[in-house]
Amino acid sequence: MKKIIAVPITLALALSTSLVIGQNIRFSDPETVVRDQFWGNLYADGGSSFFCDTPFTSKGFVMTDGYVYPLSDVRTALDCGTSRQCLQDNRYRQISSDLHNIVPVRTRVEMRRRSVRYEDLGHSVRSDECGIRESAQFFEPPEQVKGDVARTVAYMVDTYGLPWIGATSVFQSWNELDPPDDKELTRHREIAELQGNENPFVTNPGLMDRF
């Protein structure tokens, strides 16, 4: 189980005076953001894959940039057309540039989960070596990132007016099961400083109860 890390009062005050609770306000070129900010900044020295927690030192061919809230669902919600057509839509460019929604994922995992719905599948569905359970169009992430997924999806829904991609009750239960730990809080702080806005569901998980 994750350990809840308290954010120091001085840090919280500093962040509150320089950051906004709202949309990504700095980035609107997804290709550049992924190249320069995501891989070139956040994960320049490597890290660990989001779902499998596998260490990596560089992007290479094994890793790719994954979107917790899939871009295919963003395109459907905005009704902006194909991937190429949507890149002409300023709102799509803004949403797809939001670093809070982008995580390092093993390429083979990302290929399987691009158009899925999140769900609790239960122990009747066998988990793989990463702790992932899959069935038809449903995807259950490993225990250690269920809360991360829930808080990211809630942020995308609340911030950009996107539809839920799974039952709200599932995300609420994941949020309680897996509270923010030091790794999630550190990543959130780094992204907030780069992008200029917070994910309030990370700093205040209790906000999930309002849905």
pLDDT of residue 112: 83
At residue 21 the predicted structure's pLDDT band, cuts being 50, 70 and 90, is low
Q: How confident is the model at residue 23 (pLDDT cuts 50, 70, 90)?
A: confident
Q: What is the mean pLDDT of the chain?
A: 89
Question: Are the C-beta atoms of 21 and 196 separated by less than 8 Å?
Answer: no
Phi, psi of 184 (to 5 degrees): -65, -40
Q: Do residues 65 and 104 touch, judged by C-beta distance below 8 A? A: yes
φ/ψ (deg, to 5) at 119: -160, 155
What does the pLDDT read at residue 145? 97
Q: What is the mean pLDDT of residues 48-63?
A: 93
Quick one: pLDDT band at residue 202, thresholds 50, 70, 90?
very high
pLDDT at 182 over 60: yes
Instruction: Quote the pLDDT of residue 7.
Output: 39
Is residue 145 within 8 Å of residue 50, measured between CB atoms? yes
**pLDDT for 35 beyond 70:** yes
Vertex 41, ends 39 and 45: CA angle to 5°? Answer: 75
The pTM of this model reads 0.88
Confidence bin at 15 (pLDDT 50/70/90): very low
Query: In 10 A of CB 144, how many CB atoms?
Result: 17
